[in-house]
Amino acid sequence: MNEFEKKGEFPKGCIPFLTIHQSKGLEFPIVIVSSLYQNPPIYREKIRKSYDSLFQKKKLLQEHNEELYDFYRKFYVAFSRAKNALVFLDYDVSSSFQALVRHSVEISSDHFQWEDILEEKYSTSEETASYSYTTDIALYDLCPRKYFFLRKISFPSIEKEKMLFGNLLHRCLEKMHKYEKYKNGIEILLTKEKENLEKRSKFSFQKEELEKARAILEEYREKSEMLYENILQAERKEFLEWRGSMLYGEIDLLAFQGEQWKIIDFKTGTENPMYIEQLVLYQELLKKYQKGQDVLLSLYYLLEQREEKIELSLEEREKILDKIQSTIQKIQKKDFPKREYQEEICDACEFYAFCYRKENL
């Protein structure tokens, strides 16, 4: 079924063929319905033909109800999607639909006038896109052309070993924050998340990597009591309509520190200014709850087991937010140039051949 219900936009200028599931929640100016000669399946025949009707009757009634529901559902979806006109094609209408058709206007095809139906203006407005820092803003700032390949035309990304190791730690931390039982069951948790990641990525973690991950998680467990007083939520998802765009963020950990909320973002890399930009965006997402009270910001470097508290002035925050807005506007303008060549970034990129050829450098 997923093959026929592929998500995403249909090519402009084409007429899409939708399944019943895809049509739910949509509305169409004109809906044309045929096959009104049909009747729902008759369950009495099944019961009469059953040798064990006494015991099978309840089961058959249940099956009949499901068949009846499926039969009427497809017609209900068609009937309820029409905005300006609902057209029945069949002259031969079964008893199941006589009551409905009785109240419609019968018009022969020779006398049917399309002009009588209210004209629906075609709209080319696009659905408001949502932007997250990691998958949109940071990726575009790194390389607009790579953003185009990954986000606009959905090229598959090659997951690097460092990324998978970071994913493993983040998955384990999420479970440790959500479920108390895993704080003292790191070995079981690590094995479970390792197996899940290996199945998805077709990558095998080395024994040394697992031992390193275990040591990091155990050390974090001991030091986490100094980071916060109580956990509010782990992997908290937030949306916000902001400056004409929709922002989306998934906060690693939202906790209480005194009477204030505190955002803690976990990193497996070294210091990077982009980390601070990400925290400012998360802080903006939570403004609707805090009513002017600032949310505390903190980065936690797992490899060093070190917390960095981030304190910014209002001017610094606004500068970062303006930069984020500028990036979103470039994405909306479909501006995807190649970045200036930088060896450590470009040579490691799976799309470098689309921008530079090594023999020309």
Least confident residue range of 21-35, 259-273, 319-333: 21-35
Q: Helix (H, G, I), strand (E, B), or coil: what is residue 325?
A: helix
Q: Which residue has the tokens 């020779």?
A: 110
| pLDDT given at position 127 | 56
Establish how many alpha carbons lie within 13 A of residue 72's alpha carbon, considering only the half-sphere containing its beta carbon.
8
Residue 357 has pLDDT above 60, yes or no: no
Mean pLDDT of 43-64: 49
pLDDT digits (tens, 9 = 90+) for 247-264: 999 999 999 888 889 999
Instruction: In whole angstroms, give the CA distance from residue 253 to residue 234.
Output: 5
Residue pair 289/251 in contact (Cβ under 8 Å)? The answer is no
Closest to 249 (Cα-Cα) out of 129, 148, 135, 126: 135
Instruction: In whole angstroms, give the CA distance from residue 224 to residue 158.
Output: 33
- 124 versus 310: which is more confidently predicted? 310
Residue 176 has pLDDT above 80, yes or no: yes
Residue pair 354/153 in contact (Cβ under 8 Å)? The answer is no
The continuous run of DSSP H or E covering 240 comes out as strand 230-242
Instruction: In whole angstroms, give the CA distance from residue 285 to residue 237.
Output: 10
Question: What one-letter code names the amino acid at 245?
Answer: S
Residue pair 230/255 in contact (Cβ under 8 Å)? The answer is yes
- The DSSP call for residue 148 is I
Residue pair 216/227 in contact (Cβ under 8 Å)? The answer is no
Residues 6+ apart with CB under 8 A from 40: 67, 68, 71, 72, 96
**pLDDT grade for 199, boundaries at 50, 70 and 90:** confident
Residue 47 has pLDDT above 50, yes or no: no
| pLDDT given at position 19 | 67
Q: Which domains does the chain have, with CATH numbers?
A: 20-116 (no CATH), 130-158+228-361 (3.90.320), 159-226 (no CATH)
Helix, strand, coil percent content, the chain, rounded in steps of 5: 50, 15, 35
- The DSSP call for residue 119 is P
Helices (H), the chain: 20-23, 43-49, 53-80, 98-101, 138-142, 144-147, 161-178, 186-201, 207-223, 273-285, 287-290, 314-332, 343-346
Mean pLDDT of 224-243: 88
What pairing do the DSSP bridges indicate for beta strands 245-257 and 230-242?
antiparallel
| pLDDT given at position 178 | 87
53: tokens are: 């009707």
The C-alpha angle with vertex 56 and arms to 50 and 61, in degrees rounded to 5, equals 105
Percentage of the residues of the chain whose pLDDT score is greater than 90: 33
| pLDDT given at position 220 | 93
Instruction: In whole angstroms, give the CA distance from residue 339 to residue 111.
Output: 62
Q: What is the pTM of this model?
A: 0.64
pLDDT digits (tens, 9 = 90+) for 61-107: 455 566 677 777 777 777 787 787 888 776 677 777 777 777 676 77
